[in-house]
Structure 1
Amino acid sequence: MIILRSLIKVLGGTNRSCLHGSELISLVSCVLLSLLFFSCASEDPIRQDRSVIADRNKQENAFDKWLYENYMKPYNIEVKYKFDDNESDRRYNLAPAEFHKSIQFAHLARHLCLEAYDEVTGSVGKPSRAFIRQLFPKVLHLVGSTGYNHNGTQILGTAEGGRKMTLYRINDLNPSSIAELNLYYFQTIHHEFGHIQNQTKPYPADFRQVTANGYRSDTWSKAWSTPSEVHEVVYKELADGRSEDLKKYTKVAQEYYRLYALGSRRTKEETQQMELYKKEKRELEANKMLMQEHSTYNKRLDMIKNLRVSEINALRAGFISPYASSQHYEDFVELQATFVTDAPEMWDAKLFAAGDRGRELIKRKFEIVSSYLQHDWGINLHALRDCVLRRQTEIKDLDINSLVINDK
């Protein structure tokens, strides 16, 4: 270094007798330390987002090796399951992801998400895994607990500039419940991945105009609590939509079961009437088309009963979920993620609950989403949903606890 060399030259020309040997050594030591500090501060500034404490005893375990072979090698994705304060959002009081749950989640995410996109984009068996490798965040960060916002909502996942995706609530993972897997994890992954696609290639501006006056920003979590009797409105619409034969069958079946329940309290006339209803009921049940309609009706009714008041009110305003009403860009990816993870019957039940107006708005927006993904990314949303739903049925045959490395 030029400064150091000049200093040595100056000291060398100084009358050495002016300084004692120990004083000279102390002076040189102090100057060298000062220069070293100056050099480090000017050439290699401290990174505030990185720990200065190096773990020199870090060793790879079997899971680390499995992750390298199944995530890093094919997809260039690093899975961070060990708690790292610098990677976590300090606004929340968070817990680390449990080791065993992290293993299970890694298996499920690969099977239900990464390999599903491989399949529909034609990347299966190709070392490059081009679609996921190019677009998916390079860091998948797992957190054991969830974070709670001031408005009472939970944070399930975040995507940071296309570089990192954080998923929460890993310690509550329940592999046996497809509904919970979708609600808490995989709908979130598709949602956040949708944001990255949109950031790479913007979606048509026409989308935000369909329900331009309906977005609620930060008040979305409380905006759809009324009317509280909306379920009854939807039940009536569902009942009114039955065919005349189904209405007749429903009435006959109800009367039969009402009289049957009377038991010994039935009069002779009521018993005779009950037998007539029983005969008519059996004749109607011989109609397979009618029984199919009856089954579809009951399934749809059960699904609508499980929808929350806020969900139905949001649907009737043209939003596939309450959160979709927060911003147009959240609306776009919520449609994408919900469609991919919902079974067709559930999607249809939501559209029915939306009513005529809400259903038309959702369909208009969905067509824009579907067209965008097909045109800009070559992804057929129906094919992706079929693939994801099929893979959901395969979970029971997966060994999600194994760390055996297979060459795929």
Structure 2
Amino acid sequence: MKYLNKIIFLLFASMLFITACKKEKLDTSSPIVDLGGETWAQGPIDKWILDSLTMPFNVEVLYRWNQYAVGDLNKTMTPPDEARVLPLLKVMKKIWIDPYIIAKGGDSALMKRYITKQIVLVGSRSFNTNGTETLGTADGGKKITLFAVNEIDSSNRAVVQRRMRTVHHEFAHIFHQTVMFTPDFERICVGDYTGDWTNQSEATALSKGFISPYAMSNKDEDFVETIAHALVYGPAGFDSIVNRTNDATGKSKIYRKIAMVKHYYKSVWDLDFDLLQAEVQKALNAVAPLPPPPPPAPLKDIFGFNLRYKSLRIDAVTTQASSIYNTAFNTAKAGLAAFNNNGGRYMDSILISLTTADSLLLRVRYINPANPTSFLLADYLYKYTRNADGSITLGTATSFPSTRTTAFGNGTTVRTSILALLEYFQGKTLLPKYPSGLPTGSNPEKGGLYDNNNANSFFIGNLNDTYITY
């Protein structure tokens, strides 16, 4: 009986095992992902890649998820948002591939030979254990991997520049890995390369002759960082970065490096670096144009005490002015010519300066024909109040006795002769304005003072950024 029960128990257990096995049977109707059996419907992204990158340049783009293609299995990564893939690839082609072809006179042979053959796009960021972030990598000239694709805004100039800096950086590695640059490049900053670049500030890097802290890591990164910064930021942008340091030695080293880069590009690759740089900038401006410059400040906001423009020179010969002002000026000029019945004096110009917060200095320059090599000065002060619209309302001219200064003494001496000019300013409310409403960009810049109460009364002169002192 015990034997029979044992047989029944074993048969029951076998049935349970068989039943369990049937429930756990694998479904083999679908291929296992990443083992070569999966397929996708070809869409617009794939067609553009085929037509624009794969067929002309033999470049493969991996944007569907494959952790093995990324290469680092120890990091948590996410795939790119497909909506961002095509805009990014178009930007890359326009700002990276096309400029090289244009700089070679339309010949694509160089790019076809040396362009990376695989581009891997990763949606998420790639952080390192030392606290830094990797934006891109280049593997032996065959693959470029770009991270943080999901954060790219192709209309944001700063974002596009940062991303394309990575692309040009990685591509430049392919060049020097093919033909090495001269050892003289490394000698410019010999002894200053450091594995501790993550703890170096931009100011330190620039002062030592590096365009970025990362350039301090080794000669290869220094070389490609110099190239990438120059291409993506252009001559003016590159200069603005260099000028963040006042260290003349550091600046000189950076400019020696860019000169060597240009020689390398021409001698090794027959590429005009300046032309390439110009084409990159042209493409960048087409993709993400520079924001329009802010409108210039009205002259009333930048002319005056403690402001940008502090004085105005009105010349006796070339002044643009109303007939009202010219009448006063010419009357004063004639008065000086008849001064003291002793050969007269000759008017040269006047200068106006808001020398203090409430005092306008009017300086008359004139010549004594007996000593024509030096100017004589006659100074007058007007107290003024500044109004809400930026205009100034003047009081009465004050001259001082000769015990103050020679210029004030001269002011007392010739006051009667030039009274018409002094009275022109007296009590007037004058508004600083550009002649046409906007700065002309001339050197020196032109500006004028316009009578608030009479549109037909004004004078124009040269703006200066220094005070007249007395």
**What's the TM-score, normalizing by structure 2?**
0.53
| Aligned counterpart for 2:62 among listed residues 77, 80, 93 | 80
Residues 52, 106 of structure 1: alpha-carbon distance in 2 compared, 3 angstrom cutoff:
closer
- State how far apart, in whole Å, the 2-side matches of 1:151 and 1:52 are: 32
Summarize deviations over 1:190-244 as a string: whole Å, max 9, x none: 1111110001111101111110111112x1011x2xxxxxxxxxxxxxxxxxxxx
- State how far apart, in whole Å, the 1-side matches of 2:89 and 2:241 are: 30
Amino acid at match of 2:147: Y
| Aligned counterpart for 1:188 among listed residues 153, 156, 166 | 166
Unaligned runs of 5+ in 1: 1-50, 225-309, 398-408
Summarize deviations over 1:308-365 as a string: whole Å, max 9, x none: xx21221011100000000011000100010000133321122222320101111122
Q: Is the 8 A contact 2:232 2:280 kept in 1?
A: yes
Does residue 163 of structure 1 match 2:142? Answer: yes
Does residue 324 of structure 1 match 2:215? Answer: yes
Q: Is the 8 A contact 2:157 2:288 kept in 1?
A: no
Q: Is the 8 A contact 2:231 2:280 kept in 1?
A: yes
Amino acid at match of 1:372: Y
- Deviation of the 1:118 alpha carbon: 1.0
Q: Secondary structure at the match of 1:216?
A: coil
Q: Is the 8 A contact 1:123 1:130 kept in 2?
A: no
Does residue 141 of structure 1 match 2:32? Answer: no
Aligned to 2:238: 347
Q: Is the 8 A contact 1:76 1:138 kept in 2?
A: yes
Question: 375-384 vs 53-62, which deviates more?
Answer: 53-62
Aligned to 1:68: 50
| Aligned counterpart for 1:106 among listed residues 80, 85, 89 | 89
Amino acid at match of 1:100: A
Q: Is the 8 A contact 1:78 1:139 kept in 2?
A: yes
Does residue 311 of structure 1 match 2:202? Answer: yes
Q: Secondary structure at the match of 1:158?
A: strand
| Aligned counterpart for 1:92 among listed residues 47, 72, 75 | 75
Aligned to 2:198: 221
- State how far apart, in whole Å, the 2-side matches of 1:359 and 1:167 are: 31
Q: Is the 8 A contact 1:123 1:131 kept in 2?
A: no
Question: 376-385 vs 58-67, which deviates more?
Answer: 58-67
Root-mean-square deviation (CA), in Å? 1.8
- State how far apart, in whole Å, the 1-side matches of 2:258 and 2:159 are: 24
Q: Secondary structure at the match of 1:97?
A: coil
- State how far apart, in whole Å, the 2-side matches of 1:52 and 1:391 are: 37
Q: Specify which structure has the higher proportion of helix.
A: 1
Amino acid at match of 2:169: H
Summarize deviations over 1:145-182 as a string: whole Å, max 9, x none: 11111111100110111111101111001112111111
Q: Specify which structure has the higher proportion of strand.
A: 2
- Deviation of the 1:60 alpha carbon: 1.6
- State how far apart, in whole Å, the 1-side matches of 2:233 and 2:53 are: 26
Q: Is the 8 A contact 1:316 1:353 kept in 2?
A: no
Aligned to 2:287: 395
Residues 59, 373 of structure 1: alpha-carbon distance in 2 compared, 3 angstrom cutoff:
same
Residues 335, 396 of structure 1: alpha-carbon distance in 2 compared, 3 angstrom cutoff:
closer
Residues 214, 396 of structure 1: alpha-carbon distance in 2 compared, 3 angstrom cutoff:
closer
Summarize deviations over 1:106-153 as a string: whole Å, max 9, x none: 1111111111111111235xxxx2111100110011111111111111
Aligned to 1:367: 259
Q: Is the 8 A contact 2:156 2:288 kept in 1?
A: no
- State how far apart, in whole Å, the 1-side matches of 2:96 and 2:67 are: 27
Amino acid at match of 2:265: L
Aligned to 2:103: 120
- State how far apart, in whole Å, the 1-side matches of 2:240 and 2:285 are: 21
- State how far apart, in whole Å, the 2-side matches of 1:58 and 1:98 are: 16
Q: Secondary structure at the match of 1:141?
A: strand
**What's the TM-score, normalizing by structure 1?**
0.60
Q: Is the 8 A contact 1:143 1:169 kept in 2?
A: yes
Q: Is the 8 A contact 1:339 1:385 kept in 2?
A: yes
- State how far apart, in whole Å, the 1-side matches of 2:285 and 2:193 are: 36
Aligned to 1:173: 152
Amino acid at match of 2:105: G
Aligned to 1:212: 190
Summarize deviations over 1:280-330 as a string: whole Å, max 9, x none: xxxxxxxxxxxxxxxxxxxxxxxxxxxxxx212210111000000000110
Q: Is the 8 A contact 2:160 2:288 kept in 1?
A: no
Summarize deviations over 1:349-407 as a string: whole Å, max 9, x none: 2222232010111112222111111110111221111111111121269xxxxxxxxxx
Q: Is the 8 A contact 2:99 2:279 kept in 1?
A: yes
Unaligned runs of 5+ in 2: 1-32, 290-470
Aligned length: 256
- State how far apart, in whole Å, the 2-side matches of 1:55 and 1:101 are: 26
- Deviation of the 1:87 alpha carbon: 0.4
